Amino acid sequence: MFRASVRTLSTAARQSLRIGLIPADGIGKEVIPAAKAAILALGSDIPNPQFVDLAAGWETFTRTGVALPQETVDILRQECDCALFGSVSSPSRKVVGYSSPIVALRKELDLYANIRPVVSVLVGEKPSVDLIVVRENTECLYVKQEVQTVGEHGKEARATRLITERASRRIGQMAFELANARPRKLLTIIHKSNVLSVTDGLFRETVRSVPTLPGVNGKYDQVTISEQLVDSAVYRLFREPEIFDVLVAPNLYGDILSDAAAALVGSLGLIPSINAGDNFVMGEPVHGSAPDIEGKGIANPIASIRSAALMLRHLGYTKGADRLDTAVDQVIREGKVLTPDLKGTSTTNEVLEAVLRIL
């Protein structure tokens, strides 16, 4: 299970924990309540948790014309210590006025790091996987600067890809912190600078320079740095995942790699993440809105519960986070109460109840 902490936000003056809940679309409305129930089951390990229900998503857009209401952003900034986000059903076609609320939230709250641990749970499970994908969260092609024009040969579409030294340095520091806290202390930089020598070249060079920054003073001397081109990284991820420890990547590569890694441990329904900045953290299960199973009561709540654990650990509530992870791992190892994505027949609520019984 994932145990590394990342730049723990201070809990010294916190008398209660105020958590924004943004179920958004699809199965988000089913798994975020499960995460809430799991947090409540921790009792005194979490000081007086309070929950604020907030709106965002495609369904919010269809009702109001706004996918991310300003009220949601303001409440998160002014009243909440952290948040849990469910899933969003962004359309694959262009819709005038619509933009992904999760992408917007990451920018609004400066949640520049998306941290996605992928870990084998079953004893003797092959392949053996224990890695973290650290994904830059604010740049790359996700700046969504696209234009379409008509040229000599018909329609032409172009997208701007932004990589900055500042963002690359921040995500590099986060990745080095994580790698330094783990036993293997191995950091792999993912890029494609043999082709994209300017953008990926800047990312690669900036991350590599982190140990030489002023004030670091040898802090990362024990971290071994390696590199992989993104295409060969995907190949090796499936062939020999055990070679990876912490991977740091630009936004798009990190998104693809972490979803691919989920296939190695059975399901996207197991994979948590946090969107982390220097002043706020938001848990988010990696799976999407899964419209094919929405409303059937069979969505896997484990990723959302694990995301809650990651969020709590980031805030310094290590004991509560460990209890959540231990309970989830026990349910998986017992194998008696699993949702259909893990070849089981149990419902969302049955899996949640199994976790709650252990807690």
Which residues form the catalytic set? 142, 192, 231, 255, 259
* Dihedral pair phi/psi, residue 249, rounded to 5°: -150, 155
Q: Which residues contact 91 (CB under 8 A, 6 or more apart)?
A: 58, 98
| Residue 281: DSSP 8-state | E
Q: Which residues contact 353 (CB under 8 A, 6 or more apart)?
A: 337
DSSP run (H or E) holding 130: strand 130-136
Report the alpha-carbon distance of residue 29 to residue 174 in Å, rounded.
31
Question: Whats the size of the chain, residue-wise?
Answer: 359
Output the DSSP codes for 63-79: HHS-SS-HHHHHHHHHH
Structure tokens at 312: 């709590």
Residue with token string 């303001």: 74
Report the alpha-carbon distance of residue 220 to residue 62 in Å, rounded.
48
Distances (CA, A) of 157 to 145, 146, 150, 151, 196: 11, 7, 9, 10, 19
Nearest to 102 by CA among 81, 128, 83, 125: 83
Buried b (16+ CB within 10 A) or exposed e, 259-289: bbbbebbbbbbbbbbbbbbeebbbbbbbbbb
Report the alpha-carbon distance of residue 335 to residue 352 in Å, rounded.
14
Q: Which residues contact 69 (CB under 8 A, 6 or more apart)?
A: 55, 56, 60
Q: Which residues contact 231 (CB under 8 A, 6 or more apart)?
A: 192
Question: Amino acid identity of 301?
Answer: P
Structure tokens at 222: 């024990």
